[in-house]
Structure 1
């Protein structure tokens, strides 16, 4: 059975979320295409919010699973 490829916008969102949750700068965004960059920044904002709420490490595992299931 073949696996479907993940949507590029979803992948960019998750990468941005990972940067945000680890407290990295949004200036590190690797994308230049506006739609993909926007998805990455949305993920970064969500990740930063979770970082500020203390959902890092084992406390945030359930949140990451929720984000993966939504996409």
Structure 2
């Protein structure tokens, strides 16, 4: 059975979240397309917020799974 490609917006959000949770700058966004870039920045903002709240490591990844399941 073939695998379906994952949604590029979801992947961009996840990558942005990971950058944010690790405290990296939003200037490191690798995307140039406006929609995908916005999704990455939304993930980065959530990750940065969780970083400030102390949800790092496994707690942050658990939070990412909760956020993605709500979308």
Scaled to the shorter chain, the TM-score interval is: 0.7 to 0.9
- Report the equivalent of 2:2: 2
Displacement, 1:22? 0.3
5+ residue gaps in structure 1? none
Cα deviation 1:33-58 (Å, max 9, x = unaligned): 11111000000000001101111013
Distance between the aligned counterparts of 2:44 and 2:68, measured in 1? 15
Q: Which residue of 1 aligns with 2:20?
A: 20
Aligned mates of 2:61, 2:28 — CA distance in 1: 23
**8 Å CA contact 2:16, 2:43 repeated in 1:** yes
Q: 1:16 to 1:49 in 2, by over 3 A?
A: same
TM-score by length of 1: 0.88
Structure 2 alignment gaps of length 5 or more:
none
Counting matched residue pairs gives 71
CA positional deviation for 1:59: 2.5
Give the superposition deviation at 1:68.
4.0
